[in-house]
Amino acid sequence: MDTREALGSWIDGPKAAAEKMGADFGYRGERLGLPKEGPGSIAGPGRRVGALLVDGWLVSLIAFGLIGKGSPGSANMWTTPLFFTVTVLLLATTGTTVGKRLFGLRIIRLDGSRATIPQVLLRTLLLCLLVPALVWDRDTRGLHDKAVGTVEVRI
């Protein structure tokens, strides 16, 4: 067997090479017992990033409108704490934020129930740190979701 085939090329990556060799990774969320597509399936990265951008943009507008009329620098200082507060309040009460709702997403526990307040607090804190959200598993769940036992699914 060619070493390049075993390791995968830098273009295809190791997952493609493993699949060529017969490995079956299944679909995103299969290991968690979630459907392949439709309501309840794991949300794709594009939807999640889009929802995060909408939420960040809305919070920035609120921060600028409430705090930054006199000095824009002070609004920037309050954007992250305001993002944390708004996200925790909305996720704890509705399971979704404005951006997530626009993109048809919801945060749930692995058993399908609503995430608890401690889960939402820790998940949002880790999301604000950014690094855990940038590290994914093969189901594209970020470390912030894995750490608290939640998953972002399509509505």
- pLDDT tens readout for residues 17-44: 666 776 667 788 888 889 999 999 999 9
From CA 24, how far away is CA 37, in angstroms rounded? 18
CA angle (104, 106, 88) in 5-degree steps: 125
Q: Please tell me the pTM assigned to this model.
A: 0.80
From CA 119, how far away is CA 149, in angstroms rounded? 8
- pLDDT tens readout for residues 48-106: 999 999 999 999 998 888 776 656 566 678 889 999 999 999 999 999 999 999 999 99
For the chain, the structural domain boundaries read 1-28, 34-154
- Residues 84 and 62: beta-carbon distance below 8 Å: no
In sequence order, what are the residues at sequence separation of 6 or more whose Cβ sits closer than 8 angstroms to the Cβ of residue 102? Answer: 51, 54
